[in-house]
Amino acid sequence: MGLWEATDSEHCVLLTELCDQGELFDTIVEYEAGLPADMARDFFFKITSALSHMHDKRVAHRDVKAENVLLDSRGNPKLIDMGLAFIEHEMAASGASDPNVGRRGLATTKVGSMMYAAPEVVHPRSEGAHYDPYAADMWSLGVLLYCMLQGLFPFRIAIAELCPAYAHYLERGTLPWRAPFPAEAAEAALRKLLCVSADERITARAALAEAWLSAPSGAPARPMPPAGAPVDADLPPARKRTVDELEGAAVVADGPDGCLLYTSPSPRDGLL
């Protein structure tokens, strides 16, 4: 996002470019069941490009979410709000007593938004355990991509004891899809982003090379899975989705024929 600064003897005013189409979150809720695939792919490429640039500069955002992406007059996404950013060279220069922080690019602070936060952030192995903030960004990007494709959140929080949907994901390795199902290449990218192991999670630079991003425009969605596959068995009538509906996928329960049913709403912006 373009940023200009104006100062006088008493004031400092920061001016940014106008993003008159508002938050990406609002665009997602305007659609019935996720954005059109080509639109989601374009947003994903541009947001990932921004993250890749930040990570190359050794800066992690640490609060990637739909509310922190604004759209300009042409519909281009702009990643905003760096208030929680991890700036590696500043941490290293601060003389932190912990050599893992800054000098090795690791963080300890639990920050971000609950439904987007990586499992190693919300549920560390021990109090004050280190985590890779760049890998954590990629998990959040995966949640954002899921929201764009499905119009719903995949998990309330990445803690199995508190979220049946996440426990199901750990146990069976399947995400709760609802129709229309994304292309196989899109699902493959999602699985690499929502990899529980931070060490094996895809990087921003590698995500830009995913096959889904080079798929032709208008590529057909995957066919419906056979009966018994995990899907939402109780879809509402086709209509505009509300904010409450977007936030209602955080908890799932086993439905008939092995289907997954969305049950409970969750808060719009649960900060850690």
| Catalytic (active-site) positions | 63
Report d(CA 143, CA 64) in Å as an integer. 9
Phi, psi of 233, deg, nearest 5: -90, 0
Sequence-ordered list of residues with C-beta below 8 angstroms from that of 3, at least 6 positions apart, any chain: 14, 15, 16, 17
Are 260 and 155 contacting, i.e. CB atoms less than 8 angstroms apart? Answer: no
Structure tokens at 13: 């005013």
Q: In Å, what is the CA distance from 32 to each residue of 42, 163, 180, 210, 238?
A: 19, 25, 11, 26, 6
120 closest CA partner among 195, 206, 205: 195
Sequence-ordered list of residues with C-beta below 8 angstroms from that of 70, at least 6 positions apart, any chain: 1, 19, 21, 22, 23, 24, 77, 78, 80
Strand ranges for 92-250 from DSSP E: none
Beta-carbon-side half-sphere exposure of residue 28 (alpha carbons within 13 Å): 28
Sequence-ordered list of residues with C-beta below 8 angstroms from that of 99, at least 6 positions apart, any chain: none
